[in-house]
Amino acid sequence: QSALTQPASVSGSPGQSITISCTGTSTDVGGHNYVFWYQQPPGKAPKLVIYEVSNRPSGVSNRFSGSKSGNTASLTISGLQAEDEADYYCSSYTSSSTYVFGSGTKVSVL
């Protein structure tokens, strides 16, 4: 199972919106709604920010939103803040009953 494709880095100024893409195939991202996004600050464990394409867990800021079109999912962070600096990983359940993660995107706040 190949990793999902994400841009290596995305940056934005405070207050701006950024979008991270995550491209897979019809056997993972495109095949169902089990697509997730995780935030991982340096040296810390990952934190779930989006589940099932577009749902936010309790306690996650509504500045985080998710969507999907075909084999590509997207995470948008609006009103970018310094605390949003982290690595972001998409993930998907697959048709083989396994999971696959994306290659990761480093978000920088300029």
Partner 1 sequence: EVQLVESGGGLVQPGGSPRLSCAASAFTFSSYAMSWVRQAPGKGLEWVSIISDSGGNTYYADSVKGRFTISRDNSKNTLYLQMNSLRAEDTAIYYCAKTIFGVASDAFDIWGQGTMVTVSS
Please give the residue ranges that form the binding site for partner 1 (CB under 8 A): 1, 3, 34, 36, 38, 40, 45-48, 51-52, 57, 87, 89, 91, 93, 96-104
Which of residues 71 and 92 has its CB atom nearest to partner 1 in the complex? 92
Q: How many CB atoms lie within 10 A of CB 108?
A: 13
- The first and second tokens of residue 74, run together, are 């997207």
For residue 107, the minimal CB distance to partner 1 (Å) is: 14
Which of residues 15 and 52 has its CB atom nearest to partner 1 in the complex? 52
For residue 95, the minimal CB distance to partner 1 (Å) is: 11
What's the sign of the alpha-carbon dihedral 70, 72, 78, 84?
positive
Nearest to 85 by CA among 57, 44, 51, 55: 44
Which of residues 17 and 55 has its CB atom nearest to partner 1 in the complex? 55
| Tokens 């979008």 -> residue | 19
